[in-house]
Structure 1
Amino acid sequence: MTQAAISTLEHVGIFIFAMSGALVAVRLGLDVFGIAVLALITGLGGGVARDVLIGDNPPVAFESWGYLLSALAAAAVVFTSSGRIGRRERPILVLDAIGLSLFCVTGAIIGVDAGLGVLPSSLLGLVTAVGGGIMRDVLSNRVPIIFEGDLYAVPALVGSVGAAVVATQEWPSFLFVVASGTCLAWRLAAMFRGWSAPRARGTI
């Protein structure tokens, strides 16, 4: 996949994830500054964590105004339309799933481009996919989705592994779409069908 294609997917992922963060802020009744902050953290957090882990400093999000503008544009869209969508849970979850499916792929590809193997690249894709959402949920005093038992990290990891293998083997680029689509389909199915990860039996 070309650098331009990766950058485009990153912008789309940032915009979508940032919308989910802004929607959470609206549900919490935060002001315009709070909406912008949660949008920025959700949209950029995973990518920043990824870049720090691979030693790409300063992170790309801090070098390119385009990434910041994508997140702020998402915040503006949510702020101006919050009366229609801001207090519904489903839009947040669907947008989060789409962002998850995009970032697990781009994170894994960037890992391979940085010279990492399949396993570390897959883990880097997972960090990219879930990092922003975890930061969003912690700041909004919610249990992060990744810890609630929903199938969230597993679909992202599967998508990351698929993308890392495709990038390592230099297989056709359309297979990245398959990896991303697998993550998205699995996550949406888990949401709407109530699938969850196994939990420990009993209580302590």
Structure 2
Amino acid sequence: MAADDSTALREPSARETELLDAAYAYVLEQGLSDLSLRPLAGAIGSSPRVLLFLFGSKDGLIRRLLARAREDELAWLQQYDARALDLPDTVRHLWEWLAAPEHDRLLRLWVEAYGRSLVDPAGPWAEFAAATVEDWLRLLGRSGDADPGRRTLALATLRGALLDLLATGERSRTTSAVTLLATLLEEG
């Protein structure tokens, strides 16, 4: 375990939780790629020294922010019961959540972390992409569809449509593509 992972072994203080929540709100607006402790600290009413004390390092803070984003995603997934839906209906339901404008900031952060995980696998992003693929494949598997190829096709289409939606804002077109996939999955 890295030195700056020690914060995961203890219960966070109220101040640490408060600053993490504020930092999370900040990165949802600003992103993580150009994160600098001084502007972050100023924006959330802290100092770089306090952030380093509480989170161990900038990488430690990024790990905690990524964990927080994943917690938000998983909280939604846990309340969603895919077992009652077949794979096509699961795809439709997931897309409804992914395409909702109120999730854009979280999903942009997810895309940023996913991409960084692929190009910087040793950094604080390590394994983020692989972990989220497993999360979504597990959810799609709860639909009862035993074919890993069909679940992977569903995930790849959802992820591609999401990237396209975030890039273009074209909800109607991307929703049509996901709806077509769901229809094709129903047919065979």
Q: Which has the larger radius of gyration?
A: 2
TM-score interval for Structure 1 and Structure 2 normalised by the shorter chain: 0.3 to 0.5
TM-score, scaled to structure 2: 0.37
